[in-house]
């Protein structure tokens, strides 16, 4: 790389980061404005969550940058994964393991049943439709565990391509919003008790923000149960990342002359999960007060806003089109299966077994 290319790369990084930071402020202001508008219309919970606003703004800026041929200049700053990982580490402060164990045995039980069933269903249908192993693993983790965070962890473990991560992340965000609006409405129509409805939202909707949103639309008890179920699923990220790294080293990518080693698994294991576990362990020990947890949660939203904006900036319709209909069909089928199964399991665990 020549000296002038290095200088222009650094300049691109600086200008790009500036753009992302300004965009995050605009997103926060828009989110706050949209929420205030809905409130004035008598709708307490903003159905347009900030991830959607961030991606939409990103897509808009993306189109402008491509039209003015400046997209490539700012590309060094489009660090979607970095922003997401930092946001996830900060989100670890919300994951109180002692709370899950003391209040959420039902949630934990549901999470284990759901994650296992949905993961293997997605894997099976992905194999049937001949989707490649890496994309299949990222999709299975995203639908079965907890959307974007699990997708990022799985992508590290199986060494997925960047475009595969962007593809799955975009699908997660696009499906979370309709589910957030539709599921409380369906639960209302079915006359579901608050705990079963909350468990359904938590087990089914992929992004944490949308889970909380759906729970809020249904009421306080539903929101509390939805959050515990979602937290229980989030807690399984580390386990899933380790098992995926192990499976890909030992089975999928094993060369005949190569002996799988612990070092190979460690090399693949997404290290940000360690940060996430450490922060949640500190929170579980009670080292953070409510103000610190609230502050870290607000900061994680800033990081996520930057990440989702970057997703919109990076999204290339042409690249996504090249992936064909098969991954879309797998994701759609897995989401439908997840939605129906989560309702059944929530009813069984919280209704019949009475957790």
Partner 1 sequence: MGRGRRQDQASLWGRLGEDWISVIVGLAVVLFVWLVGFSSIPWPLFGVFK
Q: How far apart are the first and last CA of the chain?
A: 61
Residue 287: its H or E element = none
Q: How far is CA 355 from the centre of its chain?
A: 27
* The binder of partner 1 chosen from 104, 106, 156, 215 (CB under 8 A): 156
Among 248, 302, 309, 350, binds partner 1 (CB under 8 A): 302
Residue 329 contacts partner 1 per CB under 8 A: no
**Nearer Cβ to partner 1, position 275 or 351?**
275
Q: How far is the CB of 341 from partner 1 (least distance, A)?
A: 32
Interaction with partner 1 in 259-288: which residues (CB under 8 A)? Answer: 270-272, 274-275, 278-279, 282, 287-288
Sign of CA dihedral 21, 23, 29, 32: negative
Tally of CB atoms within 10 A around 326: 16
Q: Is 86 in the site for partner 1 (CB under 8 A)?
A: yes
Q: Pick the binder of partner 1 from 228, 301, 311, 342 (CB under 8 A).
A: 301
The token pair at 172 is 């997660």
Residue 25 C-beta: closest distance to partner 1, Å: 6
Among residues 343, 68, 311, 313, the alpha carbon closest in space to that of 191 is found at 343
Q: Is 79 in the site for partner 1 (CB under 8 A)?
A: yes
User: For 4-11, which contacts have Cβ atoms below 8 Å and span 24 or more sequence positions?
Assistant: 8/73, 9/76, 11/73
Measured from the CB atom, the residue of 81 and 195 that comes closer to partner 1 is 81
From 23-31, 122-130, 188-196, 347-355, give the range in contact with partner 1 by CB under 8 A.
Answer: 23-31
CB of 239 or CB of 292, closer to partner 1: 292
Answer for the pair 237, 213: CB distance below 8 angstroms, yes or no.
no
| CB contact at 8 A, 108 and 230 | no
CB of 78 to partner 1, least distance (A): 12
Q: Indicate the residue among 125 and 305 with the shorter CB distance to partner 1.
A: 305
Alpha-helical runs (H) found in the chain: 3-40, 50-67, 71-74, 80-91, 97-103, 105-128, 133-141, 148-158, 162-190, 194-204, 208-218, 220-234, 237-247, 262-268, 272-284, 290-314, 317-322, 326-346
Q: Does 50 bind partner 1 (CB under 8 A)?
A: yes
Taking CB under 8 A as the binding criterion, the range among 88-96, 184-192, 251-259, 343-351 that sits at the site for partner 1 is: 88-96
Residue 331 is a binding residue for partner 1 (CB under 8 A): no
Closest CA to 222 of 92, 353, 107, 52: 107
Q: How far is the CB of 89 from partner 1 (least distance, A)?
A: 3
Would you count residue 314 as binding partner 1 (CB under 8 A)?
no
Interface ranges with partner 1 (CB under 8 A): 1, 6, 25, 28-29, 31-32, 50, 79, 81-82, 85-86, 88-90, 93, 156, 270-272, 274-275, 278-279, 282, 287-288, 291-292, 294-299, 301-302, 305
């Amino acid at each position: 790389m020549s000296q002038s290319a290095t200088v222009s790369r650094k300049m691109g990084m600086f200008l790009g980061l500036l753009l992302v930071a300004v965009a995050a402020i605009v997103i926060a202001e828009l989110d706050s404005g949209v929420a205030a508008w809905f409130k004035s219309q008598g709708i307490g919970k903003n159905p347009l969550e900030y991830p959607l606003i961030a991606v939409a703004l990103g897509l808009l800026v993306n189109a402008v940058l491509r039209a003015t041929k400046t997209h490539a200049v700012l590309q060094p700053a489009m660090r979607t994964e970095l922003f997401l990982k930092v946001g996830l580490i900060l989100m670890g402060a919300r994951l109180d393991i002692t709370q899950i164990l003391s209040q959420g045995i039902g949630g934990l039980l549901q999470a284990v049943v759901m994650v296992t069933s949905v993961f293997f269903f997605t894997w099976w249908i992905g194999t049937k439709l001949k989707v490649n192993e890496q994309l299949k693993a990222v999709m299975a983790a995203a639908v079965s565990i907890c959307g974007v965070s699990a997708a990022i962890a799985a992508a590290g473990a199986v060494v997925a391509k960047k475009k595969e991560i962007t593809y799955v992340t975009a699908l997660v965000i696009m499906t979370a919003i309709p589910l957030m609006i539709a599921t409380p409405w369906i639960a209302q129509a079915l006359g579901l008790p608050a705990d079963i409805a909350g468990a359904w939202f938590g087990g089914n909707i992929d992004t944490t923000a949308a889970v909380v949103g759906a729970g809020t639309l249904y009421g306080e008890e539903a929101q509390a149960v939805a959050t515990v179920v979602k937290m229980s699923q989030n807690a399984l990220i580390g386990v899933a990342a380790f098992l995926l790294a192990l499976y890909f080293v030992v089975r999928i990518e094993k060369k005949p002359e190569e002996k799988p080693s612990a070092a190979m698994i460690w090399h693949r294991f997404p290290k940000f999960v360690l940060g996430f576990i450490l922060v949640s362990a500190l929170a579980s020990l009670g080292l953070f007060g409510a103000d610190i947890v609230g502050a870290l949660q607000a900061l994680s939203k800033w990081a996520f806003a930057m990440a989702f904006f970057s997703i919109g900036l990076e999204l290339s319709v042409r690249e996504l089109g090249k992936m064909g209909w098969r991954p879309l069909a797998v994701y759609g089928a897995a989401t439908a299966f997840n939605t129906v199964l989560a309702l059944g399991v929530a009813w069984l665990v919280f209704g019949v077994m009475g957790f």
